[in-house]
Amino acid sequence: MRTKTTIPRFHQAIAGHLFLAGHTVLVTTTAFEATAADTLSQAAGGTVVTLARGEWDSEKWTPLRLPHQKKLRTFVQRNESIGVEAFTDEERKNRLDNVLLMTDTGTTEGEFEVIFSLSGQSGSAPGIFLGPRIKDGVLDTSIALFVATYTMAVWKTQIDPESGETKYTHLVRVNRWTEPNRKHVLRCRYSRKQNSVVIRLDQSDPIMLRNTGVDMNSLIGIWACHGPCDFYSVKFTQKPVLQWSASDPKKQQ
C-alpha cells in the first residue's frame, strides 16, 4: 500500500486522534491491558482458524495480488503463525511489499477477529480487508484497514481505470500507539444490510463507518504490508460483540 497522504504522527497510549474529512476529533481509547486470550474469551461461540503449522486448511484461503504485481506473493508458514519477513529495498521501491490472503465467511452479516503482531521496523503494517471485488486473482475494490505502531488507518482501495494502479482513498485514521512484537486483537463487524463496518483494535473505542461505497459481500482477508508481521488466528463469531451504537452500561447490568 502506498499513498501520498501525509498526516503527522502522534504516539498515544491512552488517547488517540481521529482524522476524518479534514477534521481532527479527540477519541479517548483504553490502553491494551488484557491479553489476546482474554479478549478472545469475550466473543461468544464461533469458529477459530489457527494459522499454526498443520492446523489450518490452506485450500479454503486464496492468495491475491495487486495489479502491479506480476507474481503472487505468499505468506511464510511458521510454527505458530503465518507471516512475512523483511522486504528488500528493491521490493519496497517497486511496491512488491504486499501479501494478501482471502477466505469466504459464507455470510454478508458477520463479525471476525484476527490475532496478529507487528514488528518495530518502520512501515510494518499488518491489516485486513473486507468486501473485496476480485478480477482474475487481482484485488480491485475493498475496504482495507492497516495497523502500524503509530496509527490505525482505514482506506477504500480501487483500481484506477486510467493508470491501472491501486488507488487508496483515505476514510479514517486513529493515531494510537500499538506495541510491536506482541500479540494484538483486531475485531471487525460488517453488514451489507446496514451498509456499515465497526472496527475495534484491542480495547480501544469502536469506530463505525457507514456508506463506504463498497458493497459488502461474504469475503474477507488478511494483508501484510511494508514490513515483518505475523497472523496467529482468525475467529468467526456467531454472536456479534461489536454493536452499531453505544448503550448505557448501567442498563446492561
| CATH number reported for the structural domain that contains residue 223 in this entry | 2.60.120.560
Please report the pLDDT score of residue 87 as a whole number. Answer: 83
Q: Is the pLDDT of residue 232 over 60?
A: yes
In a domain, 245, yes or no: no
Q: Cell numbers of 190, please? A: 460488517
In a domain, 6, yes or no: no
CA distances in angstroms from 53 to 49, 221, 223, 225, listed in the order given: 12, 19, 19, 22
In a domain, 247, yes or no: no
Please report the pLDDT score of residue 29 as a whole number. Answer: 38
CA gap 136, 157 in Å, rounded? 17
Contact by Cβ (8 Å): 90, 119: no
| 180-192 mean pLDDT | 96
- Percent of the chain topping pLDDT 90: 64
More confident residue, 44 or 228: 228
| 206-215 mean pLDDT | 93
In a domain, 102, yes or no: yes
In a domain, 43, yes or no: yes
In a domain, 193, yes or no: yes
Number of domains into which the chain is organized: 1
Contact by Cβ (8 Å): 141, 157: yes
Please report the pLDDT score of residue 88 as a whole number. Answer: 83
In a domain, 9, yes or no: no
CA gap 233, 238 in Å, rounded? 16
In a domain, 127, yes or no: yes
- What pLDDT digit, counting tens, does each position of 54-103 carry? 999 999 999 999 999 988 999 999 999 999 998 888 887 877 789 999 99
State which residues form the domain around 133.
15-239
- What pLDDT digit, counting tens, does each position of 13-70 carry? 323 445 444 433 333 333 333 344 334 434 456 899 999 999 999 999 999 999 999 8
Please report the pLDDT score of residue 186 as a whole number. Answer: 97
The per-residue b/e assignment along 130-140, b for 16 or more CB within 10 angstroms, e otherwise, is bbbbeeeebbb
According to DSSP, the residues that pair with 200 across neighbouring strands are: 187
CA distances in angstroms from 88 to 91, 124, 142, 231, listed in the order given: 5, 13, 27, 21
